[in-house]
Chain A
Amino acid sequence: MTETSDPTLLSEVRKYGVFNARGCFNCGSCTIDCDLATDAASFPRRSMQSVVLGLRDSVHQSLDPWLCHDCGDCSVTCPREAKPRESLKTLRRYLMAQYDWTGLSRRICRSPGWEIGALSFVAGLVLALVILYHLYVVHLEVSVFRSTAMGLEHMFNGITYFTVAVFLLSAFFIASHAARMFTLTMRRGPHAAIPLKFYLAEAKTMFLQMVTHQQILKCPATMQKRRWIMHWLLALGCCMMFVIKFFFLQWFQTDKIYPLYNPQRWVGYMAFAFLVLGSLDILIERARKSRPIYKQFGFSGLMLPVLLLLTALSGITVHVLRYVGLGLGAHYAYAVHLMIAVPMLLVEIPFGGSSHMMYRPLALYFAAVKERAKERALEAEMTLEEKTA
C-alpha cells in the first residue's frame, strides 16, 4: 500500500521534544542493540524513519514507541549521537496528544508553561473549593479547628463525593484516551477487525505487565534490576494509594486514633514509603546522572515524580499533624495535599507525560493480540494451501 509522505510531520513531532532524527543515517545500531525490539516490532530505527519520511498514518497506527522501556542503550550505542531514546520519548508524547480528543494533551505535552498553568489552575480551583466549602458548608470557627483534635469528621461526606468525582473524572479521561488509542492502532490500517477471542486470549498479557512490569527487566542496561524494583515499588505505591483512597477513604478521613498494628496505619505507611522511595530514587539518580541517559532529562520527566513525592509528603504531614493533635495545621496541610494530588490526578495523569501508565501495558496487549492474529492468519493460510495442494 502506498502511503503519502507528509513533510510537515517531523517538524510537528519536534514540537513535543527532542527528535534528532536528522543526525541519523539509518545505520540501525539502535535497533540491533535493543533487546525489546523484535522482528515484528522493530524500533527505534523504523519509528524514527517513519517520522522523518512523514508517514503520519504509520506513525499513528504504530504501537512500537510504547514497547520501548526507555533504558537508553540505543542512545549510548548510536554512532551519530542522534539520541534515539529521546526521539522515541518525544514520539510517545506526540502520540499521547493524538490519543487525547480534548486537545489538552497537545498543549500540555508541547509546553511546560501549559503544563504548569493547567496544574496551577486546577490547584487554584481546589483551593477555591476548599475555602468556599469552609465558608458556606462547615460553619465552624477557626478556633474550633485549633482546639479539636478530631477536626476532620465534619467534612467527611463532602470530601468523599469530591474524591470519588476526581477519581472518576480522571478514570474517564484515561479510558477515553485508551479507546482512541485502540481505534487508531487496532481498527485502522491493513489489519482491521481482529476477532474478540484474540483479545480475550491475550488479556493476561496486559494484566501480567501491569502487575509485574517485567518488560523493564528485558532491557539490557546495567542497574536494570534496581530500576525495575524501584519502578515497581513506585507503581505499587500509587496503586495502593489509589485503592485505599478510593475505596477506604473513611479509614483516613476519621478522627479515630488507630493503634500501630492496625492495617489502616501500616498499609498507609507502606504506600507512603513506596512512593517516597520510588520517586526519590528517580530524582536522585537523575540528579547524579548515574547513567548516560540521565545526562539530559527534560522538565516533563520530572513532573510526575515530583508530584508523587509532594503528594506523599503532604499526605503524611496531614497524618502526623493530626496524630500529634495539631488540628489546624492538619487542615492546612490537607488543603495543600489536595492542591497537589487533585491536579496530578486530573491533569498530569490523563494529559501529561504520565499517561504511559495506561498506554504501555495496553500497547503490549495490543501488540500481542496483533501478533496472535497474524500467526493465526498465517496458520490458516498454510492449512488452506495444504488443502488446495
Chain B
Amino acid sequence: MNGQDQNSPVGAAMVVGGGIGGMQAALDLADAGIKVYLVETKSAIGGRMAQLDKTFPTNDCAMCTMAPRLVEIGRHRDIEILTLSDVERVEGQAGNFAITVKRRPRFVDESKCTGCGLCTSSCPVTLPSEFDFGLGQRKAIYRPFPQAVPNVFAISRRGASPCQAGCPIHQSAQGYVALVAQGRFDDALNVILRDNPIPSICGRICTHPCGTACTRRFLDDRINMPALKRFVTDRRPDYQFPKPSVPERPEQIAVVGSGPAGLVCAYHLRQKGYQPVVFEALPVAGGMLAVGIPSFRLPRPVLHAELERLSALGIQIRVDTPVGRAIRFDELRRKYAAVFVAIGAHLERRLGVPGEDLPGVIGGLEFLRRVNLEGPQAVGRRVLVIGGGNSALDAARTARRCGAEHVTLVYRRTRAEMPANAREIEDAEHEGVKLVVLAAPSVFQSAADGRLAGLQCVRMRLGAPDASGRPAPQPIPGSEFVLPCDTVIVSIGQTPDVATLGERLGLDATRSGTLSADPVTLETAVEGVFVGGDCVTGPDVVVTAMMAGKKAAISIDRWLNGQDLRAGRELEGPYPTQYVVDTAGWQTQRQVAVPELAPAERARNFDEVQTGYTEEQAIEEARRCLSCGICSDCHMCADACEAGAINFGLREEHREVKVGAVVLAPGFEPFDPAKLPRYGYGRFPNVITALEFERILSASGPYSGHVQRPGDHREPKRIAFIQCVGSRDCERDYCSSVCCMYATKEALMAKEHVGEGVECDIFYMDLRAFGKGFEAYYERAKGRGVNYIRSRPTSIEETPGTGDLTIHYLGDGDRKKAREYDLVVLSTGMQAPRDAKRLAGIFGMELNEFNFCQTSVFAPAQVREGIYVGGPFTEPKDIPETVMQASAAAAKVLALLSEAKGSLIAVKEYPPEIDVSGQAPRIGVFVCHCGSNIAGVVDVPSVVEYVRTLDNVVYAENNVYTCANDTQDRIKQQIHDHDLNRVIVASCSPRTHEPLFRNTCREAGLNPYLFEMANIRDQCSWVHMQEHEKATRKAKDLVRMAVAKSRLLDPLRKGKLEIKKSALVIGGGLAGMVAARELASQGVPVYLVEREKELGGNLRRIRYLLNSEKPQEELQSLIADVSGDGNIHLFTESRITAIDGSIGHFKTTISNGHGAETVEHGVVIVATGASQYQPKEYGYGNGCPEVITQLELESRLSEPGQGGFWGTVVMIQCVGSRDKERPYCSRVCCTEAVKNALKIKQQNPNANVYVLYRDIRTYGFRESYYSKAREQGVVFLRYEEDRKPEVKKNDDGRLDVTVYAPLLEREIRIEADLVVLSAGIVPDRGNQETAQLLKIPRNQDGFFLEAHMKLRPVDFATDGVFVCGLAHAPKSIEESIIQAQAAAARASAILSKEYVELEGTISFVMDENCDGCAYCVDPCPYKALTLIEYVRGGVFKKTVEVNESLCKGCGTCQATCPKGGIVVRGFRPEQLAAQVAAALEVV
C-alpha cells in the first residue's frame, strides 16, 4: 500500500450484523453514496425483528413493516450482503481498513437460486426450526422465513454422516434411509445407485461398516442399513442403471476378474464413457459372489439380475476366458488402453497337519465352489468344519443343507474371537451347527479302510495377544481328544493366485503373497496396469473390493486423460467424522427385526434365509435415523432444482474487503432461562420464552397464529407473564428496557387471538412504560383486562398429568397467593451478543461488566475513530432507539468518509428511450412456471396459448423462472425482435419483483411504466392448489386483465427536482447543535435558528451526569464548534415566520427583532426541544422555598460550598407526568432523581434522602445507579396514584410529607427539610406553530409525530423534514445526541444526491374537470394538495395544485373526487375500468 492510498479514505463501509439496526445503517450509507458490505452471520438478514409478531405501541405487524425494507436492501445496487459470514481480522486505520471475512458455504449458488422453494419439498430431512425456536420444523435445505433476504435457500450440512464416512464407497446411507422413512422408495433406490452398482448384493452380504459407525448404536441399536437397502432394491427387481450421461469414448479397458472389484470398476468406467471388457476364468461371472457365497445368503437370481443390468449398460463380461490362455498377455496390453487386475484370492490355505490328504478332507472354498457350480454335494453323516470365519460358517451351513446330520465347527480360540459375523454364528446354531472352541486339529485319523474316521484335536488356551491383536491360542499338552467324522471341511483362509497371472504380467508380489500396488492410486510397476481387491488386500469383505474397483476406475480415467492421479483423494476410503452427535434426549427404540425363515424350514434347502422388511417395517426402521449429518447428501434438492443452483462443492472462503469505516450492529442474545432452574424452562413444556410466544402468535409461525401451548396444543385460557427473567438480578444489574412493553403487547395479542376471555396476568416489579406512547398503551392494556400483579414469583410448579403451572406470589398486603396457569411466558431479557468478546478483540473496543460495548454519553455511537456502533450492543434497547443509533453511526461514517462519497457506487447507464407514442400496442407476455410453484397447479402452456389469442398480444412465452438472470436477457431480446411496446409478466408479486422487470424494460429502451404484472402465483396457484382447472381459468382471467390495462398504459416520466444542498435546523439546543455540527462536518451549509440569545437549551441547566462526564464542558465545546464552523450560519434570537416548498427546495424566512432574511435549503431538521413542567402541586411556587424542582436542586447542588447541610430530602416522582392531563411518562425523571440523590449522598453521606415513586423507571444501565442509590442508603418508597403524598408545613417550620406505603399498608410521615419535585417534560409551546408551518403532525400529547414509531423514528411522513431531541419525545442527553446524529444521516442521504427522483405514478389535476371543490385536499395523507385560485378570462376560478414531490400516488384524492378531476397516473379510471371489464368478460 502506498502513502497516497493511506491518506485517501475508501468510499466503502462495512456493517456487521443484518438486524434492523444493521439494515438501517446500510441503507443510510448506501443512499448517501457509500458502498456497503453487510455482513450477517446467519443465512438471511432481518435479525430478531423478523421473529416478532407485532410491535408496540401501535400493534403493527413487524414483518409487514420490515419486509419492504428487506426488499429494498436486497435490491440495493450499492449494498452487498455477505451472509453466513463472520469478521475474522481487521487491519489498517480509520478511513482505510482491510477486513477479512470468513464465509461459510451455503451449498446453494446465490446467483442462480430464485427462491422458488421446490427444493424444500423434495428434502427428506426434517429438523426443528431455529427461527421458530424448535416449536416448528424445517427441512435441511431451508430459508428461515418466507420474506428472507437474500431470497435464496441454504443447506444445513455438518459434512458426511458417520455412516457415509465409514462406508468404503461413501454410499449416502443417511440419504436413502431418510427417503425410506418418507416412503420415497424409488428416490431411495436412485440415491443408492449413485454410488453402488450392485446394491441388491450389498443389501444381503455386505458387512455394513456404515452400521459400525452409526451414532444410534450409542443409544440402542444401529440402523439396519443393509436390510433397508435390500428392501429398496427388492421392491424394484427390474430397475435399470441410468445410461452414461457423458459422450462415449472409444477406449476399451480390460478388467481381469468379474468379482465385486472388477464389476464396480467396469461400471464406473462405463459411466465415464469407456468400453470395459471383463475377463472371467470361471464358467460363471461374479467371482467369489458366485462361487464363494452360498445361495441361501445370496440367491443366484439376485446375482444374475445384477450382472444382467451391468451387461445392459454395455459392459462385456466374457466368462470361461482365463487370461494367459484364452487371450495372451501381450494382446491384452496391446489391445486395451488400460488393464485392471482383480483376480481375487482363490487359493486355499492348508492346515499342514498329518493326514490332510485323506479322502473326505476337502477345502472350504472348494466345497462351496462345487455346491455353487454343481449343486448339493454328498457329505458324510458327521461333518467337521475347521475355521471361524464367514466362509467356515457358510461351509458348515451348506454341509447341513447337503444332508449332514451332525455338523461341528472347530475353532482355535473362543467364540468371542471368531471373525465371523455374530449374527451368522447364531443362525448356524439355530440350524443345528455345533461349536467346539479352543480346539485345534493335530492329526487326521483314518479307519482301516483308509477312509477318514476321526480328527484328533488338541485343547487350546488363550495366551498373550498376537500381531492381530487377538489372544494367541496355545496348545495344552496332553489334552488331545478325537472327534469322529466322515467329512472334514478345512476353511481357514485363502490367498491370491499370484504365480499364475500376476507374475507373468510382470507385477510385483508382496511378502505376504499378494500383489503389490500403490495404496492410493492402485498403480503397479507396469504402466497402464492397475490392481485391486482381494488379490492386493488378501481376503476381505465385498465392500472393500468395491472400493478398490471405484478407485481403479478413477485412476484409469485420470491416467488416460493425463491428469494427476493423486490429487484430492484424501477422503477416499472410510474415515471417522470430526463431529459428535449428542444422543441425549432421544427416546430409545430397538432395531426392527428382519423377518426370516424358521430354522426348521431352512436347514434343508438353499432358500434365502432372510425374507426382508415389509414397507411398514422399513419405514419404521428408517425413522430411527438421527440424521447425523443434517443434510443427508441425498441430492434430491439438486434433482428438484430446475435452476441448477445446488452446489455441494462450495467450500468455506476467506475474503478481504477494503472499507473506510465499520458499523457494528451485532444485536443481542436473548437470556437463556434454563439458567434459572426454578422456572422450569426446558423441563415444563408449557413454560416458554417471550420470543417463543411471538412465534406462536405469528400467523407465519409454527401454529399459524393459533395460540396453543406446546405441551398438548391446547388453547390456553390463563396465561402468566413473568418479568425480569435474566434482568435486574445480581449478575445482570441492568434492565432490558423492552420486556414490560412486549409482555403487555403479547398479553393484548393473546386476547386478540384467543378472545377477551383469556386471562393474562403480568408479574412485574416496576412497570417500565417509559417510551413514547407506552404509558397510554399500558393504560389501554389495563382497560382491556390485562392484570398487572406487582410481585416477583420465585418459582413455577407443574401439576403432574395436566401440564398446568402454579405460581406463588404476594398479593395486596403481602398476602401469599397461588394461581394456576395454562401457559407461562418468561419475559427474558437481553444479553450481550454471543460473540461480543470476539468482536471486542477484533475491533479493539472496551466492554462493560456485562459484555456490552462501552460508549460515552457525548459520543454514543462511536467505539473509536472509524469504528461505530448501533443497537442493543451498547445497551438493551427497543427498535426505534436501535434504528436511530444505527443512523447515528451512519452519520459518523459519512462525516469520516465525506471526501470519498460516491467513489465506489455503481452507476447505471440506460439506452435512450424508444418513442412509442402513436404506436398500436404490441404486447409481449411472459408467463412464469416458478419452478412448479405455478406450473404445478396452473397449466402454463395453455395460458400462453390463450394469451396469444388476445388482441394486441404479439408475443407470448413461458419461462421456468422469469426472474432468472438469463430470462432478463431473453425478455430484452424479445422486446427487440418483436418491437414490443408493452410487456407483461405473469408471475408473482409486484411487491418483490416489479422493480426488476421494470428495470429490464428500461435496459431494453422501453419506458418502465409500459410494464404490467399479473400475480398468478400468490393470488392464484398458491390459493387454489387443489383446483387445477379453475386455477388455470383464473390465471387466464388475471392475464387478460393485465392485457386490458396494458393497452392503455402510457409512458410516464419520473420528475426530477434539483436539490438545494443546505439544511435548516430549527432549535439551538443540544439536538439542534449536534445535527448542525454533523451536517457541517460533511460539508453541508446549515442554517441554525435559535429562539434564545444563547445556544444550549435545556442542557445549560444540567450540571453533572451519573458518570464522571462534565456536561457544561461538553456544551461549551459544542457551542464553540457550532459558532466557529464556517458551514453553520447562526441565527440567534430569531424566529421562523414562513416556510415554503418541499423536499430538495425549501424557502424559509427567518426574522429577528431587526428584520427578516430568506434562506433556501433542501431539508429541515426540527429540534425545537421541550420544557420542564411548572408544577402546581405540593405547594410549589406558593411561597414555599423548601419545595423545588429537580433542576433547581441540581443547580443548588452544583453551587460551590452548598454541600453537606441537607438534613432530610424527599423527592416526589411523576409530578406532571402519568396523570390525566399528561398521560405519558417523562422518561428521564427517575434517573434524574437517582442522580441527584447520589449527589446529595456524595456531598453528605449522613443526609437522608427519600424518593417517593410510582414505578422506578431506570431502564438499561441506569438500573445499576438505582442499585447504587439504595446501597448508599437512599430510601425508595412507592406511593399509589390515587393516594398521592401530601406536603404540609409543620409547627417546627419543617415540611411534613405524609404518604401511604402500600407494602406496609400504613401511612408514613416524613419530616423533611426539602421537598424536590421530579417535574415532567412538556412539549414546547411553539410546537403548534411549527407544525402548521411545516405541515407536520403532532401526537395527542403535543410532541411531533414521526413517520413510523419503530422504523422511521426521525423522519416525518413529509419527505425532507426530520425531527430530533425533546421535540420528538422526552429523552436523555445521550438519546438526543443519537437522534440528532440520525437526523443528520437521514438528511445527508437526500443532500448527497443531485436530484430528488419523484415517483412516476402520482396524481395530476385535469383542469377541465376540476371545479375547485377541494374535497380531495383534506384527505390527502401527505399534504400534497393545495387549493389555488386564479383568474382566467376575467373569471375567478379555483383548482387544486399537486406538489409532485410530496405526492406518493396513494390514490385517495382520485377516490374522493366526484368528477374525475384528479387522477393518478398509471391508475387512471379508464385503465382500471378496462381491467374490471376484462375481469367480467365472458370467455
Contacts and interface: CB of A to CB of B under 8 A. Distances in A.
A27 B1310 contact: no
A345 to B, nearest CB: 39
B511 interface: no
Interface in B1257-1316: 1266-1267, 1270-1273, 1275-1278, 1298, 1301, 1303-1304, 1306-1311
A80 B1272 contact: no
Given A23-B1270, A32-B794, A80 B729 contact: yes
Interface stretch (B808-816, B1024-1032, B1434-1442): B808-816
A53 B1308 contact: yes
Contacts of B1278: 26
B1308 A4 contact: yes
A31 B810 contact: yes
Interface string A119-162: 00000000000000000000000000000000000000000000
B814 A45 contact: yes
A336 to B, nearest CB: 46
B457 to A, nearest CB: 66
Given A39-B815, A39-B816, A49 B1270 contact: no
B793 interface: yes
B814 A31 contact: yes
A181 to B, nearest CB: 22
B18 to A, nearest CB: 34
B1309 A2 contact: yes
A55 interface: yes
Nearest to B813: A39
B1208 interface: yes
A42 B1273 CA distance: 23
Given A31-B814, A32-B816, A53-B1308, A10 B1273 contact: yes
A210 interface: no
Contacts of A31: 810, 814, 816
A77 B808 CA distance: 14
A4 B730 contact: no
Interface in A36-88: 37-39, 42, 45-46, 49-50, 52-55, 58, 77, 79-81
A29 B794 contact: yes
A140 B662 CA distance: 97
A45 B1271 contact: no
A23 B1307 CA distance: 24
B829 to A, nearest CB: 12
A46 B1304 contact: yes
A45 B1270 CA distance: 15
B42 interface: no
A11 B1246 CA distance: 10
Interface string A1-35: 11111010011000000000011111111011100
B791 A24 contact: no
Given A5-B1309, A22-B1272, A37-B816, A28 B810 contact: yes
Contacts of B1465: none
A123 to B, nearest CB: 39
A52 B1298 CA distance: 16
A39 B814 CA distance: 7
B1309 A23 contact: no
Contacts of B793: 32
Contact of A53 (B1266, B1270, B1275): B1275
A72 B1306 CA distance: 28
A292 B923 CA distance: 82
B1304 A49 contact: yes
Given A5-B1309, A22-B1272, A31-B814, A77 B794 contact: yes
Interface residues of B, number: 42
A52 B1275 contact: yes
A11 B1273 contact: yes
B1172 interface: no
A79 B1304 contact: no
Nearest to B818: A32
Contact of A1 (B1266, B1277, B1306, B1310): B1306
B1248 interface: yes
Nearest to B1272: A22
A2 B1299 CA distance: 9
A91 to B, nearest CB: 15
A50 to B, nearest CB: 7
A32 to B, nearest CB: 5
B794 A25 contact: no
B814 A42 contact: yes
Interface in B805-842: 808-810, 813-816
B792 interface: yes
A25 B724 CA distance: 13
Contacts of B724: 79
Contacts of A11: 1273
Contacts of B1248: 7
A2 B1307 contact: yes
Interface in B1424-1474: none
Contacts of B1307: 1-3
A27 B1275 contact: no
A27 B814 CA distance: 11
Contacts of B815: 39, 42
Contacts of A5: 1250, 1275, 1308-1311
A38 B1248 CA distance: 32
Interface string B238-267: 000000000000000000000000000000
Contact of A27 (B765, B1256, B1272): B765
A39 B724 CA distance: 25
A10 B1250 CA distance: 13
B728 interface: yes
Of B765, B1208, B1301, B1304, most buried by chain A (CB within 10 Å of CB) is B1304
26 contacts: A1-B1307, A4-B1310, A5-B1250, A5-B1275, A5-B1310, A7-B1248, A7-B1250, A22-B1273, A25-B1266, A28-B809, A28-B814, A32-B792, A32-B793, A32-B808, A32-B810, A32-B816, A37-B816, A39-B816, A42-B810, A42-B815, A45-B1303, A53-B1275, A53-B1277, A53-B1304, A58-B1306, A77-B794
Given A46-B1303, A55-B1308, 7 more contacts: A3-B1306, A7-B1250, A25-B1270, A26-B1303, A31-B814, A32-B809, A77-B794
Q: Which 6 A-B pairs have the closest CB atoms?
A: A7-B1248, A27-B792, A42-B814, A79-B729, A28-B810, A2-B1307
Interface of A: 1-5, 7, 10-11, 22-29, 31-33, 37-39, 42, 45-46, 49-50, 52-55, 58, 77, 79-81
